Amino acid sequence: MSNITELICIVCPKGCHLRVDENLNVTGQGCPRGIVYGKAEMLNPTRLLSSTIKLHSASMTRLPVVTSGEIPKGKIFDVMSVINSLEISAPVKIHQVIVKNILGLNVDLVATRSVSS
Ligand code: SF4
């Protein structure tokens, strides 16, 4: 019996329904990027992680942040633990690095908006 994994490609809004077999053969893709996505999702699924951290400011209490690149899905809870422990004081500039090379994953945690003090 063949072992098929069904995925939805998230690379573009079309959202093709992919099927990946045990030999990493991908079908259902609307373009070649779906093949790359389907294989990567089976071998080492990754995601951008966006969240907020505690902010000391007169205008806002949370600062939106995002990882500067994708991280392994298996590390999301570890990175969220770091994010949940962070506090920062305004002013903050958009794209400011809040944590460099978070957990040694070769991505930074960066601010996604500017906040004046
Ligand atoms: S397979 Fe290609 S067309 Fe389909 S959702 Fe992925 S990127 Fe878009």
| pLDDT per residue as tens digits for the range 47-106 | 999 999 999 999 999 999 999 999 999 999 999 999 999 999 999 999 999 999 999 999
User: Is the Cβ atom of 11 under 6 angstroms away from ligand 1?
Assistant: yes
Q: Judge if the beta carbon of residue 91 lies within 6 A of ligand 1.
A: no
Could you tell me if the CB of 28 is within 6 A of ligand 1?
no
CA 79–ligand 1 middle distance (angstroms): 28
pLDDT of residue 18 exceeding 90, the answer is: yes
Q: Which domain holds residue 12?
A: 5-43
Question: 56 with 101, same domain?
Answer: yes
Q: Are residues 68 and 105 in the same domain?
A: yes
Under DSSP, is residue 19 helix (H, G, I), strand (E, B) or coil? strand
Closest to 86 (Cα-Cα) out of 109, 116, 57, 115: 109
Flag whether pLDDT at 117 surpasses 90: no
pTM listed for this prediction: 0.81
Residue 67: which CATH number? 3.10.530.10
- Residue 98 falls within a domain, yes or no? yes
Number of domains comprising the chain: 2
Q: Phi/psi at 71 (nearest 5 deg)?
A: -120, 155
The pLDDT value recorded for residue 69 is 96
The verdict on 36 and 71 lying in the same domain is no
62 and 90 share a domain?
yes
pLDDT above 80 for 1: no
